[in-house]
Each structure stands twice: as C-alpha cells, then as structure tokens.
Amino acid sequence: MNLDELKSLAVNAVEDVKAFDVNVVDVMGRSSVSDVLVFASGRSDRQVKSIANNVVLEAKKAGVAPLGVEGLNTGDWVLVDLGDVVVHVMLPQVRDYYGIERMWDVDNPDYDDGSESFDDAE
C-alpha cells in the first residue's frame, strides 16, 4: 500500500467513527519515524478508543499490520503506528494541552509556537 492510500485509509477510518477536527500533517523529510501524522479528536474516552480501534481494524482489513498501539487503557490519547502514517486520537483538552500538531505544522500560516521574536521583545 502506498503512502497516499495509507493516509486515506487512516483518515476514512477516523471519520467513519465520527472523529472531529481531523488534521493531516506532512512530516516527510522532517521526521525519520513517519511521513504523515493524522490528528483527530473524540468527544469521550470511549469514542477515542473506538476511533483508534477502527483504524486498527481497517488497516488489518487492508493487509496492513499496525506496528503498535499505545494508550488504549486510558483512552484520553491513543496512538496507532501504521509505519509511514501515525494516527493520534485525543480528547480535545489533551490535544490542546500538548499541542503536538502545532510543533509539526510549522508551514501552517496559523502556526504560533508561543515565543516572541527578538523584535517583539523590545
């Protein structure tokens, strides 16, 4: 399965279980771990777990064995590692607190790393 197919599989799998605020971040060339990060939110820990489980199920149906799944025991943040695509499913407050996608999505014009430039500090 090529990268675009795997990315589409992940996005469709999270959307099938009504994930919201889905964001796909291309990290190719910036990460040695994966090429694409998919971020999605669920409204409860139960939904977060269901969304992540659906990603795993759909990947297996397509013949892709997930390399790992972390966080299913708590359900506030579940990571599904599909190799070139890593899916993060989180509760909104966890997603806001850690801000991981902001760190990777520096090409986004809305990106703000929270720091001031030297010119602003004067």
| Domains contained in the chain, CATH given | 3-104 (3.30.460.10)
- What is the average pLDDT score of the chain? 87
Beta-bridged to residue 70, according to DSSP, are: 79
For residue 116, the model assigns a pLDDT of 52
For residues 21 and 26, what is the distance between their CA atoms, to the nearest angstrom? 16
Higher pLDDT, 79 or 116: 79
109 has pLDDT over 80: no
For residue 57, the model assigns a pLDDT of 98
Q: Do 58 and 65 meet the contact criterion of CB atoms below 8 Å apart? A: no
Kindly provide the b/e burial profile for residues 65-97, where b requires at least 16 CB atoms within 10 angstroms of the residue's own CB. Answer: ebeeeebeeebbbbbbebbbbbbbbbbeebbee
Higher pLDDT, 37 or 30: 37
pLDDT tens digits for range 74-104: 999 999 999 999 999 999 999 999 988 887 7
39 has pLDDT over 80: yes
Mean pLDDT of 21-25: 94
For residue 113, the model assigns a pLDDT of 46
Task: Map residue 12 onto helix, strand or coil.
Answer: helix
